[in-house]
A and B are shown apart, each in its own frame.
Chain A
Amino acid sequence: MDIVDQSIHELHQTLKSREVSSVEATKALLARIENLEPQIGSFITVTPEQALADAAAADKRIAAGQMDLLTGIPVALKDIFLTEGIRTTCGSRILSNFVPPYSATAWDKLKERGMVLLGKLNQDEFAMGSSNESSAFGMARNPWDTSCIPGGSSGGSATAIAARQATVTLGTDTGGSIRQPASHCGCVGLKPTYGRVSRYGVIAYASSLDQVGPLTRDVTDSAIMLGALAGHDPKDSTSVNIPVPDYTAALTGNIAGLRIGLPKEYFIAGLDPDVQHSMDAAIATLRGLGAEFVDISLPNTDYAVATYYLIATAEASSNLARYDGVRFGHRAEASEGLLEMYTKSRSQGFGAEVKRRIMLGTYALSSGYYDAYYVKAQKVRTLIMQDFIRAFEGVDVILTPVAPTPAFKIGEKVADPLQMYLSDIFTIPVNLAGTCALSVPAGFSASGLPIGLQLIGKPFGEETILRAAHAFEQATEWHTRKAVI
């Protein structure tokens, strides 16, 4: 098996047997990056020197017998993770010159384990988008069909896996930003429960919704990565202090008697027939594995997108106030006075989608509108959470499509933000409820585009959805297919 195709656990065995070194594996992936970047555009910044130095250091650790599962494994990070000394743009012009003086806790933890940093991945600007088209650095393209979007906002994180440019990547998920691109690019994407992974050093889009997670070749890798990332961080007050289980131990392959809920609100008329077909086939497979299916209802699903676009934009309007040109980032030249410096720097630095969301959020928080929009949205959010709590009284896992359609064509929805927003209709409720979910490959469309299956778990129920996804993966071959580029 080609080294660039290997998963974390496979490459770990290869490294352990000394068949290849971390430096060799890293070089193979860097070569792949160099060859494919003009077509795919997964990266905003590639860090070959850093990667080779990290790999050489890892090889020393391996030689010294101080190897763990992640030592020497090449990883790439969405450009939303702060990396000390390495430019971090968040896909925005306003941070095009920003070199952070500290690193995100998530990256610190992986670095500590001896992982190798290949570079920083493309994304929608400030994680605002579902197609990668809002990146200020040119979008990433879907390796299965480069005329299609890869999904967003963690588009580069998904394309780098699909195009075999990294062994594993990290993304963030605010309304589906890990799961939707994972679904569109045929990889496994996990959004952990809110509070499971530290947000410290991750550039905030919507603080009450953002969560860090891995994009991987298979479910085992996802379990390995969650184990590495999860845990309380004293620097993030919203990270929860509960024990981190061994997620790989949960991958028993046995899901007999698992109760899986099918919410009627997610299987709607108008669902893409290929998606519907993949879901039906997946349900049959899981039933064959001993799972029991229960029809359930999540009655407030209809309000999720509207709720999300009030809460997320409100938080974003405040989170993005710090990009003012005063201390870091882009500052407009030749401004007359403070107000002009602010307005010019921000007008030049932010793209259209970011501006749209800042305006929406500012409006929602404004005096006189606050109760009608922000407060009401918070109330609906509570109702949506209660939908899930009630549903989980009767089932262990909820199964839905990740997205209503496979990847759409580049440019198709740019002119219609509302259509774009609706592509996250099945992923957004999970963020509002604060619980966990993953996307696992479950089929292909007639035109050969990947289709993902979403498994939603109870809060901190990652073990159960990983177990179910793993069993499904064992029974199918969707995850083994490769994009031909």
Chain B
Amino acid sequence: MRYQPVIGLEVHVQLKTDSKIFCGCSTAFGSEPNSQTCPVCLGLPGALPVLNKKVVDFAIKAGLSTNCSITPRSIFARKNYFYPDLPKGYQISQFEDPICQHGWLDIQVEGQEVKRIGITRIHMEEDAGKLVHGDVSGLEEGSGVDLNRACTPLLEVVSEPDLRSSDEAVAYLKQLHQIVTWLGICDGNMEEGSFRCDANVSVMPLGSDTLGTRAEIKNVNSFRFVKQAIEYEIQRQIELIEDGGRVVQETRLFDPNSGKTRSMRGKEEAHDYRYFPDPDLVPLVIDQAWIERTRGELPELPEQRRQRFMNDFALPAYDAEVLTASRGLADYFESCVALHANAKAISNWLMGEITRALNDNSLSIEACPLVPSRLVDLIKLIEGGTISGKIAKTVFDEMWRSGKEPAVIVQEQGLLQVSDTGAIEAIIDEILTREAGQVAEYRSGKDKLFGFFVGQVMKASKGKANPGVVNELLLSKLKG
């Protein structure tokens, strides 16, 4: 029998606010344990939460960018369970009436049709702290509790079970990741847990419309692991059914080392969270004016920008896609285009050398040492025939290293392109004399050797010879 996987994702997006969701403590990562705490996030007796309005702004932005409707009167609820990293014994979240509902994203897996994935809801909640095991200063044994992260704002984005493969899941996740980072509401750092995902996976016989029993997979914190975990889980469930077994509803943990999922707790051990409206927080009323004000602050979204790049700059779809992968890259591109109209050349450099250099140095485009005007100057030198494309790469590397202007580098290192036919002729003559055997072979029909001669000439000129001139002269001379 063939099977149809059904996948829904719950994504936790950590919001990039300066302060926590219900108190004024800093959200900065990596400080001394428990240094960023107060009575509210420590859950001390008598402390009360006060909602950070910025979190609401961010949630509205996320909702508007994922085609959700914004709930005019949404409420916070308590999710009750005991754990040492949860100071109050409950997490303030949203249950009934979350802030955003009924949205969607259009995704596309390479080589497939565009597909619309439903978003059930987006709600706001606070994060828990974390436990520190072993090597806790001042502690002989046992575990420590660090509550710096407690009360950090999160959005939970819940998709409909509309995804049908691990590739679709990854495409959806990448798109959502792009949107929240693009909006500037999340730093998108998956390793630090700023963007993390739980996957609900089930399988049903192909053609069936009855969903199978699902397992929830926790702790998948990279795109690769999401793909791996889902594929493993689909396979596990199919094998289980084929062997006459039954999938049980449970929570499973993904182990990145083995690439497998293992059972964490079954349905019987599932928590009864006893959700109820939090009496410490009044209902959140969002009027149309608030929504429109926030809509006005939204940046142009990746999809719109991609279309505009294709229309306004005549870029190929591929280029537009790559350049809108992040808001920073798209901004950089636009800064360059504003200085110089050759959009395709700029695109080539951005997708090529700049991306390579950024990757080599583990830098983001925001930290690029080259300002857009430098890149444009370099491109202008090529177009003006001052240097060859090949030499330009040398100049680029030097520019990256020293920050000098490209014209200065060309001057200092004597990299001016040689277009003087006399000088080039002399080099060609010398090479044709030296390589008499090859010349004979070429003339007897081995056309492929032409590249060899070009290479030799460029080498002898240290790359400075104008390749157009070299080609022209070589052709005529080899004809003999």
Is the beta-carbon distance between B50 and A235 smaller than 8 angstroms?
A: yes
CB distance from A138 to the nearest CB of B (A): 22
Evaluate whether A204 and B82 lie within 8 angstroms (CB atoms) in the complex, with A102-B39, A315-B279, A321-B89 already known: no
Contact between A318 and B89, CB atoms less than 8 A apart: yes
Contacts of B48 in A (CB 8 A): 199-200, 235-238
Contact A365:B80 (CB < 8 A) given known A100-B44, A104-B46, A321-B88: yes
Check A82/B45 contact, CB under 8 A, given A207-B279, A318-B89, A322-B89: yes
Contacts of B87 in A (CB 8 A): 322, 326-327
Q: How far is the CB of A197 from chain B (nearest CB, A)?
A: 13
Chain B, 8-49, contact with A by CB distance < 8 Å: what is the 0/1 string? 000000000000000000000000000000010011111111
Select one of A82, A95, A235, A326 contacting B145, CB under 8 A.
A326
| Number of A-B pairs, beta carbon distance below 8 Å | 99
Question: Chain B residues with Cβ under 8 A from A206's Cβ?
Answer: 279
Q: Are A100 and B45 in contact (CB under 8 A)?
A: yes
Is A460 in the interface zone, CB < 8 Å from B? no
Q: Which of B259-310 contact A (CB under 8 A)?
A: 272, 274-276, 279-282
> Is B90 among interface residues, defined by CB-CB distance under 8 A?
yes
Find chain A residues with CB under 8 A from B276 CB: 314-315, 318, 365, 370, 374
Asked if A452 is an interface residue, CB under 8 A from chain B, the answer is no
Q: How far is the CA of A395 from the CA of B45 in the complex (A)?
A: 39
Residue of chain A at shortest CB distance from B23: A235
Closest B residue by C-beta to A195: B282
Cβ-defined contact, B274 with A101, below 8 A: no
Cβ of A438 < 8 Å from any Cβ of B? no
Nearest CB of B to A216, in Å: 23
Q: Which of B48, B88, B89 lies at the interface centre, i.e. has the most chain A CB atoms within 10 A of its CB?
A: B48
CA distance A322 to B281 in the complex (A): 18
Within the complex, which residue of B78, B88, B282 is in contact with A238, where a contact is CB–CB below 8 Å?
B282
Which single residue of chain A is at the shortest CB-CB distance from B274?
A365
| Closest Cβ neighbor of A368 among chain B residues | B272
Across the interface, A98 reaches (CB within 8 A) one of B45, B50, B90, B272, namely: B45
A366 within 8 A of B: yes
**Which chain A residue shows the least CB distance to B46?**
A201
Give chain B residues whose Cβ lies under 8 Å from the Cβ of A82.
45-46
Contact B39 A234 (CB under 8 A): no
**Quick one: closest B residue to A202, CB to CB?**
B46
**What is the total number of residues of chain A having a CB less than 8 Å from a CB of chain B?**
43
Number of residues on chain B facing chain A (CB within 8 A): 28
Partner of A102, one of B43, B44, B272: B44
- B329 interfacial contact with A, CB 8 Å: no
B392 within 8 A of A: no
Check A133 for interface membership: any CB of B closer than 8 A.
no
Scan residues 231-258 of chain A and give those whose CB is less than 8 A from a CB of chain B. Answer: 234-238
Cα A112 to Cα B239 with chains together (Å): 71
The verdict on A54 contacting chain B, using a C-beta distance below 8 Å, is: no
- State the Cβ distance, A314 to closest chain B Cβ, in Å: 6
B272 to A367, Cβ gap below 8 A?
yes
* Pairwise interchain contact B46-A204, C-beta atoms closer than 8 A: yes
Chain B hits for A444, CB < 8 A: none
Closest-by-CB residue of B relative to A234 is B50
Q: Give, as a whole number of angstroms, the nearest-CB distance from A242 to chain B.
A: 14
A237–B51 CB distance below 8 A: yes
Which residues of B have CB within 8 Å of A104? Answer: 46
A318 near B80 with CB under 8 A, answer yes
Residue A424 interfacial (CB < 8 Å): no
Q: Which residues of B contact A199 (CB under 8 A)?
A: 46, 48
Asked if B184 is an interface residue, CB under 8 A from chain A, the answer is no
Q: Does A421 contact B (CB under 8 A)?
A: no
Q: How far does the Cβ of B85 sit from chain A's closest Cβ, in whole Å?
A: 9
B88 touches A322 (CB 8 A): yes
Residue of A nearest to B39 (CB): A102
CB distance from B268 to the nearest CB of A (A): 13
In the complex, what distance in Å separates the CA atom of A342 from the CA atom of B83? 10
With CB as the reference atom, state the residue of chain B lying closest to A103. B46
Inter-chain contacts of A370 with B (CB < 8 A): 274, 276
For A88, the chain B residues whose CB sits under 8 A away are 45
Cβ–Cβ < 8 Å partners of B39 in chain A: 101-102
Instruction: A454 to B82: give the CA distance in the assembly, Å.
Output: 41
Contacts of B45 in A (CB 8 A): 82, 88, 90, 95, 98, 100, 203-204, 322-323, 328
Q: Is A45 an interface residue (CB 8 A)?
A: no
Q: How far, in angstroms, from A189 to B365 measured CA to CA in the complex?
A: 66
- Binary A-proximity of B66-98 (CB < 8 A = 1, otherwise 0): 000000000000101010100111100000000
Contacts of A95 in B (CB 8 A): 45
Interface residues as binary, A88-108 with B (CB distance below 8 Å gives 1, 0 otherwise): 101000010010111010000
Q: Are B42 and A324 neighbours in the complex by a CB distance under 8 Å?
A: no
A326/B281 contact (C-beta < 8 A), A102-B39, A236-B48 known:
no
Shortest distance between the CB of A198 and any CB in chain B (Å): 9
Bound: A328/B84 CA distance, A: 12
> B272 to A200, Cβ gap below 8 A?
no
Chain A nearest Cβ from B142, distance in angstroms: 10
User: Are B274 and A327 closer than 8 Å at their CB atoms?
Assistant: no
A130 interfacial contact with B, CB 8 Å: no
Check: A1 CB closer than 8 A to any chain B CB.
no
Nearest B residue to A367, CB-CB: B272
Q: How far is the CB of A324 from chain B (nearest CB, A)?
A: 6
* B78, A327: Cβ atoms closer than 8 Å: no
Kindly state the separation between the CA atoms of A237 and B47 in the bound complex, as whole angstroms: 11
B45-63 vs A, CB cutoff 8 Å, 1 = contact: the mask equals 1111111000000000000
Nearest chain B CB to A410 CB, angstrom units = 29
Q: Could you tell me the distance between the alpha carbons of A202 and B42 in the complex, rounded to whole angstroms?
A: 15
Contact B274 A367 (CB under 8 A): yes
Looking at A90, A234, A318, A362, which has the most chain B CB atoms within 10 Å of its CB?
A318
Contact A238 B280 (CB under 8 A): yes
A208 touches B80 (CB 8 A): no
Q: Which chain A residues lie closer than 8 Å to B272 at the CB level?
A: 366-367
Q: A102-B44, A366-B272 are in contact. Are A324 and B89 (CB under 8 A)?
A: yes
Whether the Cβ atoms of B145 and A327 lie closer than 8 Å is: yes
Complex contacts, A238 vs chain B, CB 8 Å: 48, 279-282
- Nearest-neighbour CB distance to chain A for B88, whole angstroms, equals 5
Closest CB of chain B to A444's CB: distance in Å?
Answer: 37
With A and B bound together, what is the CA distance between A203 and B274 in angstroms? Answer: 22
- Residues of A close to B274: CB separation below 8 A: 317-318, 362, 365-367, 370
User: Complex: how many Å from CA A327 to CA B405?
Assistant: 59
> Which residues of chain A are near B49, meaning CB under 8 Å?
237
Residue of A nearest to B38 (CB): A102
Does A446 count as interface, using CB distance less than 8 angstroms? no
Q: How far is the CA of A95 from the CA of B45 in the complex (A)?
A: 10
Residues B46 and A100 in contact, CB atoms below 8 Å apart: yes
A477 to chain B, nearest CB (A): 39
Expressed in whole angstroms, the minimum distance between the Cβ of A348 and any Cβ of chain B is: 16
Contacts of B46 in A (CB 8 A): 82, 100, 104, 199-204
CB-based contact A322/B51 at 8 Å? no
The docked-state distance in angstroms from the alpha carbon of A101 to that of B80 is 26
Q: How far is the CA of A320 from the CA of B82 in the complex (A)?
A: 11
Contacts of A415 on B, CB cut-off 8 Å?
A: none
A484 close to chain B: CB less than 8 A: no
Closest to A311 in B: B279
- Minimal Cβ-Cβ distance residue in A for B50: A237
**Contacting residues, chain B, for A269 (C-beta < 8 A):** none
Instruction: Return chain B residues, CB-CB under 8 Å to A367.
Output: 272, 274
What are 22 A-B contacts with C-beta separation under 8 Å?
A82-B46, A90-B45, A95-B45, A102-B44, A200-B47, A200-B48, A202-B46, A208-B279, A234-B50, A237-B50, A237-B51, A237-B282, A238-B279, A238-B281, A317-B80, A318-B89, A318-B274, A322-B87, A327-B43, A328-B45, A342-B82, A367-B272
Shortest 8 CB-CB contacts between residues of A and residues of B: A321-B89, A208-B279, A365-B274, A207-B279, A201-B46, A203-B45, A322-B43, A82-B46
Question: Given contacts A100-B45, A370-B274, could you give 7 more A-B pairs where the C-beta distance is less than 8 Å?
Answer: A237-B48, A238-B280, A318-B78, A327-B42, A365-B276, A366-B274, A370-B276
B residues sitting closer than 8 Å to A (CB atoms) are 39, 42-51, 78, 80, 82, 84, 87-90, 145, 272, 274-276, 279-282
